């Protein structure tokens, strides 16, 4: 049985994925002109967000990028390996390393503590070590920097420094797998 609205919904989904791919293809730590007409993914708010992985995952974070768009900033975590990640993301003025408990230093007034579940060390999933380092953010955005904290027991931690607390959303995009955080500048 065919649903009468299936084609428009699929077409809209495809357009969204294509727009996301185009927008994220240009994401970097370099200052770029905002992409107009692009909207944030998901429903953005300031509440803590969490989702468990659907099943076992063996992913490694292979890159981190930031993008500055007309109404929002985007942070993209590139993932390699098998499965889908889970996450725990929340605001924190004094984030601590999951491994040592030491306070993580960052630039900005507040931090978004990003924990990606279902991750492993790069060599465990057959990829080269990406040697992740701090990523400076776009000018005129709310993001100040992204600090890689480390991977421990299936969880990779990052701290996103921000100028102020803003609504945000968290989404997973496939082919290739990425965890995308959109931060809406009000």
Q: Give the model's pLDDT for residue 34.
A: 47
Which domains does the chain show, CATH number per domain?
6-184 (2.60.40.3500)
Whether the bond into 163 is cis, omega within 30 of 0: no
Residue 93 neighbours by CB under 8 Å, 6+ apart: 110, 111
Q: For 86-112, how does the pLDDT look when each residue is reduced to its tens digit (9 = 90+)?
A: 999 999 999 999 989 999 999 999 999
10-residue stretch averages of pLDDT, the chain, 186 residues long: 33 36 41 58 94 90 94 96 96 94 96 97 94 88 96 96 96 95 92
Q: Are 29 and 135 in contact (CB under 8 A)?
A: yes
Q: Give the model's pLDDT for residue 156.
A: 97
Task: With H, G, I as helix, E, B as strand and everything else as coil, classify residue 23.
Answer: helix
Q: Give the model's pLDDT for residue 174.
A: 93
């Amino acid at each position: 049985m065919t649903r009468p609205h299936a084609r428009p919904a699929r077409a809209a989904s495809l357009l969204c994925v294509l727009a996301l791919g185009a927008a994220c293809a240009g994401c970097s730590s370099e200052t770029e002109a905002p992409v107009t007409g692009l909207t944030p993914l998901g429903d953005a708010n300031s509440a803590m967000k969490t989702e468990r992985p659907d099943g076992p995952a063996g992913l490694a974070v292979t890159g981190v990028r930031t993008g500055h768009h007309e109404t929002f900033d985007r942070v993209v975590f590139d993932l390699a390996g098998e499965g889908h990640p889970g996450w725990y993301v929340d605001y924190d003025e004094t984030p601590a390393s999951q491994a040592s408990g030491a306070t993580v230093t960052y630039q900005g007034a507040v931090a978004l503590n990003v924990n990606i579940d279902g991750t492993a060390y790069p060599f465990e999933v057959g990829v080269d070590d990406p040697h992740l380092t701090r990523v400076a953010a776009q000018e005129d955005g709310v993001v100040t920097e992204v600090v890689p904290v480390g991977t421990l027991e299936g969880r990779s931690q990052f701290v996103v420094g921000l100028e102020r607390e803003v609504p945000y959303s968290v989404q997973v995009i496939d082919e290739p797998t990425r965890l995308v955080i959109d931060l809406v500048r009000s």
